[in-house]
Amino acid sequence: MQEPDIAKLRHRLTIEQLSNTPDSQGGFATTWSTLATVWGKVEPVKSSERLFAQRIEYQRSHVAWIRNRSDVTTSMRITFNSRTFQIKGVRRLDEKRFWLILDLEENQGT
């Protein structure tokens, strides 16, 4: 896998994490809050569709490249151009720890 040129990081990505906010009844409401907004490169990898619960469900997989961060996990998600991607994997290209590679999945049902 070849690392991108830094000038190719042209997509503005928002990294979001789940956060629990107390509600007025003693419980918690789960919401997504912004961890960071970063420059990155998003590339499609594959696309598939299947019939699930009497409807067609589309699955699209992507890879995102961002500068290295130590706080990104698979419990987070990425938003980009009004689309939402679940982070399925977090990888580093090499031990230099310059790049972080995110395996993403976008689900869209009809």
For 54, the domain range is: 7-20+27-109
Reduce the DSSP state of residue 7 to 3 states and report it.
helix
Alpha helices for the chain (secondary structure H): none
CA-to-CA separations, 47 to 65, 95, 104, 108, in angstroms, rounded: 19, 31, 12, 11
The answer on pLDDT for 1 being more than 80 is: no
Q: What is the mean pLDDT of residues 84-89?
A: 93
pLDDT of residue 110: 44
User: Is residue 38 assigned to a domain?
Assistant: yes
Percent above pLDDT 70 for the chain: 85
Whole-model pTM: value is 0.78
Higher pLDDT among residues 48 and 72, named by residue: 72
Residue 56 lies in a domain: yes
Residue 2 belongs to some domain of the structure: no
- Residue 104 lies inside a defined structural domain of this protein: yes
The total of structural domains in the chain comes to 1
pLDDT tens-place string over residues 30-52 = 889 999 999 999 988 876 777 76
- Domain-embedded: residue 1: no
What is the predicted pLDDT for the residue at 9? 85
Furthest C-alpha separation in the chain: 52
- The CATH number linked to 61 is 2.40.10.270
Over residues 81-102, mean pLDDT: 86
- Is 81 part of any domain? yes
